[in-house]
Amino acid sequence: MVWKNLKVGSYNLKITALNPIEKDYPYCDKDANLLRKVSGTFTKGHFINDATGEQHDTALRLINNKPLGKLPMTKEVKEPKEVSADEVEDLLIEKQYLVECDILLQALKEKGKAYKFGYSNGNGYKGFKAYLYPSKVYKEYLIMACGTTQISEVIKDIDEIKSKSKKLQSITLALQGINQAKVEDLLEI
């Protein structure tokens, strides 16, 4: 985590970017053998099995020890999970959509709820947690917020880094008060 300083008016701020936690899945063939991607220069890129030297034009991804193809675009969600609308605040939003459906808008507004479900835009291997909720600003619309990471996960990582840094500072301060050993103390020359 990298933070930067920012001065706003008379306030000195320390800001940290909230970036989603990326998951990368290795390339493999249909038999779950790992493949290495070879980028094309003057020829078309391809994938190679380093163990056998076998070349492949396309590759799958190894997810939970299974070779899987790309995610299809989500076109239907049979049973969305109804959650508190406050849960949306913890999502690190990567994509956002404006949604129109007056009946659902009214139902969610009355209950103060949001719908939560899995969503894929069909562009590969990225699946999102999607929240569908009434907009607080654009009253006639729903918003669909999509992300892969909860903000609380990122804050937990930042807090762990801060805790380790404080421990290191206390150890450094403790060591500064101690006389350091000299070679002469250890050896008689």
The per-residue pLDDT string of the chain (189 residues; one tens digit each, 9 = 90 and over) reads 677 899 999 999 988 888 888 888 999 999 999 999 988 777 788 899 998 989 898 999 999 999 999 999 999 999 999 999 999 999 999 999 999 999 999 999 999 999 999 999 988 888 999 999 999 999 999 999 999 999 998 888 888 887 877 666 666 655 555 666 666 666 665
Asked, for residue 186, whether it belongs to a domain, the answer is no
Asked, for residue 106, whether it belongs to a domain, the answer is yes
For residue 134, give the nearest of 91, 92, 88, 94 by alpha carbon: 88
Number of Cα atoms under 13 Å in the Cβ half of residue 5: 4
Structure tokens at 76: 């239907």
Q: Are 98 and 54 found together in one domain?
A: no
pLDDT of residue 142: 97
Q: Are 85 and 146 found together in one domain?
A: yes
What is the span of the domain harbouring residue 47? 23-69
Q: Are 85 and 37 found together in one domain?
A: no
Asked, for residue 113, whether it belongs to a domain, the answer is yes
Asked, for residue 114, whether it belongs to a domain, the answer is yes
Query: Which is it for the CA torsion 95, 13, 5, 152, positive or negative?
Result: negative
pLDDT of residue 93: 95
Q: Are 64 and 87 found together in one domain?
A: no
Structure tokens at 183: 């070679």
Q: Are 61 and 93 found together in one domain?
A: no
pLDDT of residue 157: 84
Asked, for residue 177, whether it belongs to a domain, the answer is no
Asked, for residue 174, whether it belongs to a domain, the answer is no
Q: Are 65 and 87 found together in one domain?
A: no
pLDDT of residue 174: 55
pLDDT of residue 158: 83
Q: Are 89 and 50 found together in one domain?
A: no
Number of domains observed in the structure of the chain = 2
Q: Find the radius of gyration of the CA atoms of the chain.
A: 26
d(CA 3, CA 155): 13
pLDDT of residue 163: 81
Asked, for residue 5, whether it belongs to a domain, the answer is no
